[in-house]
Structure 1
Amino acid sequence: MSYSPPNPNQYGAYPNPYNAPYPPPVPQGHGIPSAPGYGPPSGYPSPPPSYFSDHHGGQYPAAYGPAVPYANPSGPIIQQPGIAPGGPPGGWMNLPQGIPNCPPGLEYLTTIDQLLVHQKVEVLEALTGFETKNKFTIKNSLGQKVYYAVEDSDCLTRNCCGPLRPFDMKILDNYRNEVIHLNRLLACDSCCFPCCLQKMEVSSPPGVLVGTVEQQWSLCCPSFAIKNTSGDTVLKIEGPLCTMSICGDVEFEILSGDGNVRVGRISKQWSGLIREAFTDTDFFGITFPMDLDVRMKAVMLGACFLIDAMFFEKASGSNNSNSFL
């Protein structure tokens, strides 16, 4: 028994290849077939035949354009957040941008009014008493690293001259670029020799003098003058009568140029009984006005290192050399 196919007018034609219209309609959402005999349905605009060639001879559709290298959408990387090449790991302060007339590397100092200076513990020096090169980490009040400093001196002067030794101090950023250079000459620190007192020159960038720290003659309390490149006294530093750290901080007051207004301080912080007794590893805090010129802030950092060398650096084979006289 055979059945005739249903009447198309009654039920509708089955969708099969034999009764489908030719060519078949293009499904929505799919591309247009490129086989011969097919073409775009009426009412569709033809795609623009816009192609162009690059300098290598290759062709690209205009809708995509030539291949371009990837770019950082946030601009060039100014500060890497992790480990700097060759430097200590982690926690570095971001470099402020757009600071006019600022020596390179001193941009960090424009947004801070406090610095923390931590000296690194040298195991060989603690065990043997053999004086090694001092190293420091310089941080802001949030604990972020700003610079690190490395002493440059020879073995003979370190172990023979002790706290009076001449040295250069290189202050580096996290890319190991030297941004501040300190130079301390060999001189006395006694009130008996007023013509040959301590002096430190501060340069930023290295080779460009920005100021000096000069010891002033004083009979009882240590005194220093912070001078600019013209030799004018911008700030003064007055120390206490006793500079020995005995279970407490030792504070050096930073005064205005006329000496009437206190504007900050350099504080030698108590680092604990064991550190104080067996090492010369010191902690310092420096505070200064936020709007102080960055060059003078760099000179204040140099003053901190000079004070450390004069009053808190132990002589080789001795327990303490903090006597001012």
Structure 2
Amino acid sequence: MGVLAKNLFLVKEHVGMFKAANNYDIHDPYTNEIIIECRENNLGFITKLLRFSDYKRMTPFNIEISDAQGNLLLRVSRGISIFLSDVKVHDGEGNLIGGFKQKFFSIGGKFDVQDPSGNTLCNLKGTWTGWNFRFLAGERELAQVSKEWAGLGKEMFTSADNYALSISSDVSEDAPVRKLILAAVMCIDMVLKE
């Protein structure tokens, strides 16, 4: 599993005034080395235009998540979203490994993380006022996403587009939910926070 077996990731979004694509680098927070790249490479012209409008949150996306050597690990995609997002996650070979269904009328943002059959593995729940999200399987916390992280220098969080993902050490390295959690982090901004 390699890089996906880590438990702590620093996500940095590429920022730019006229940026239509959603691109992220994921760093090892201890070395600041880029270990994963997340790129939205093939945006259509209409989608690019809509990304600069009030319809940005409804636009489709297709993000490729690769390791530092360029090996495709995951693909996260969604079609046009009118009300609620329905996101699909495929592994590097193109096999569906699960997805996310946004909850209707959720305060602060919430969606279900599902296996390929649509069974809920855990829920993503967020706070309305901040950038704090938790992945919960019942009462058990599998992971958390936050703009603040003890142990990481404040210089890591100088931009509003940086955050940390911490996966609980009791989530096994080969658990399918681990890949889905990482993929979900790429969707939080596009599905819930735009």
Which range, TM-score by smaller chain?
0.7 to 0.9
Partner of 1:64: none
Match of 1:303 among 184, 190, 193: 184
Partner of 1:154: 44
1:94-173 matches, within 5 Å, as 106-110=1-5, 112-122=6-16, 126=17, 130-142=18-30, 143-152=32-41, 153-160=43-50, 161-173=55-67
Match of 2:71 among 157, 169, 177: 177
Partner of 2:164: 285
Q: Is the 8 A contact 1:181 1:206 kept in 2?
A: no
> Which secondary structure state, in structure 1, belongs to the residue aligned with residue 187 of structure 2?
helix
Q: Deviations over 1:128-175 (max 9, x none)?
A: xx3432321112232232211111322321331313210100112222
Q: What percent of counterpart residues are identical?
A: 21
- Structure 1: gaps (5+ residues): 1-105, 190-196, 244-249, 277-281, 314-325
In angstroms, what is the RMSD of aligned CA positions? Answer: 2.2
Distance 1:300 1:219 in 2: 19
> Which secondary structure state, in structure 2, belongs to the residue aligned with residue 285 of structure 1?
strand
Partner of 1:322: none
Q: Deviations over 1:213-244 (max 9, x none)?
A: 1112234232111111232211111111235x
TM-score by length of structure 2 reads: 0.80
2:27 counterpart letter in structure 1: K
When Rg is computed on C-alpha atoms for both structures, the one with the higher figure is: 1
Deviation at 1:209, TM superposition (A): 1.0
Q: Is the 8 A contact 2:141 2:168 kept in 1?
A: no
Q: Is the 8 A contact 2:157 2:163 kept in 1?
A: no
Distance 2:166 2:132 in 1: 11
2:63 counterpart letter in structure 1: M
Distance 1:179 1:219 in 2: 30
Distance 1:206 1:231 in 2: 20
Residue 169 to residue 219, structure 1, CA distance change in 2 (3 Å): closer
> Which secondary structure state, in structure 1, belongs to the residue aligned with residue 94 of structure 2?
coil
Match of 2:142 among 256, 263, 266: 263
Report how many residues are paired. 179
- Structure 2: gaps (5+ residues): 149-155
Residue 131 to residue 145, structure 1, CA distance change in 2 (3 Å): closer
Partner of 1:16: none
Structure with greater strand percent:
2
Distance 1:295 1:234 in 2: 9
> Which secondary structure state, in structure 2, belongs to the residue aligned with residue 141 of structure 1?
coil
1:207-226 matches, within 5 Å, as 207-226=94-113
1:144 counterpart letter in structure 2: E
Return the structure number with greater relative CO, CA threshold 8 A, min gap 6: 2
